[in-house]
């Protein structure tokens, strides 16, 4: 069976690099849920921290996406 696959290898690289960001975001929210479950009144303090962590972790995955499109 023969076949052609067309497309950019960049996107495979991006898919691999997104694993790191995915694990990071998962850890951030796991910690946030843990914290709120143990101490529900801390939710207001933890929420901006969790989203800040999300934003900073996600930045790497986003740079990867942009480079996947930009680099030829």
Nearest C-alpha neighbor of 20 from the set 70, 69, 59, 71: 59
* Residue 11 binds to another protein (criterion: CB under 8 A): no
Pick from 15, 26, 48, 72 the residue near another protein by CB under 8 A. Answer: 48
* Residue 65 binds to another protein (criterion: CB under 8 A): yes
* Residue 58 binds to another protein (criterion: CB under 8 A): yes
Q: Which two tokens stand for residue 6?
A: 């067309």
Cα–Cα distance, 33 to 2 (Å, whole number): 49
Interface residues toward another protein, by CB under 8 A: 3, 44-45, 47-48, 51-52, 54-55, 58-59, 62-63, 65-66, 69
């Amino acid at each position: 069976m023969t076949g052609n696959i067309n497309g950019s290898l960049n996107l495979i690289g991006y898919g691999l690099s997104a694993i790191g960001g995915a694990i990071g975001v998962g850890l951030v929210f796991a910690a946030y849920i843990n914290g709120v479950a143990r101490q529900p009144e801390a939710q207001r303090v933890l929420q901006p921290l969790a989203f800040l962590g999300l934003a900073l972790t996600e930045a790497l995955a986003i740079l990867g996406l942009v480079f996947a499109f930009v680099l030829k």
